[in-house]
Amino acid sequence: MKTITSILAIVILGFGIATTHADKAGDRDFEMRIRKIFDDCQKVKPGMTRAELVKLKLFDEDRGPLGATNDNSFRQHTTFEYRPYSPIKIDVDFSHSDSKEARPTDIITNVSMPIIDGRARR
């Protein structure tokens, strides 16, 4: 009986160690993905043009569930979603423009930190 108890304790301890190692590997993978997202988001900087933002091919304008895909109107404050994972977003401010349409030459004046948008989309 003492041998069975010892074996059972070793098996349980072994599962605990294996789980801990698996969790650490998963944590490292998660950390690497988060760092990649933040690195990508930091590529958007004040002084860049709208054309340079588009050229990165990392973000799409977040038009919301009811937004028209062909709407090219100028918005001084615009939210962009991260292409690889759309709940990640950044808010981008553009310099004031007299044009009623967004232009490739619009200058970025401010960029937010990445935001996680957990709202349900329909």
Q: What is the pLDDT along the chain (122 residues), one digit of tens a residue?
A: 555 554 544 545 555 555 555 578 788 999 999 999 999 999 999 999 999 999 999 999 987 766 666 777 888 899 999 999 999 999 999 998 888 899 999 999 999 999 998 877 65
**How far from chain centre, in Å, is Cα 46?**
19
In the chain, where the domains are located: 2-116
Identify the H or E element spanning 37. helix 2-41
Please tell me the pTM assigned to this model: 0.74
Which residues neighbour 57 within 8 Å (Cβ) at sequence distance 6 or greater? Answer: 83
φ, ψ for residue 114, nearest 5 deg:
-60, 145
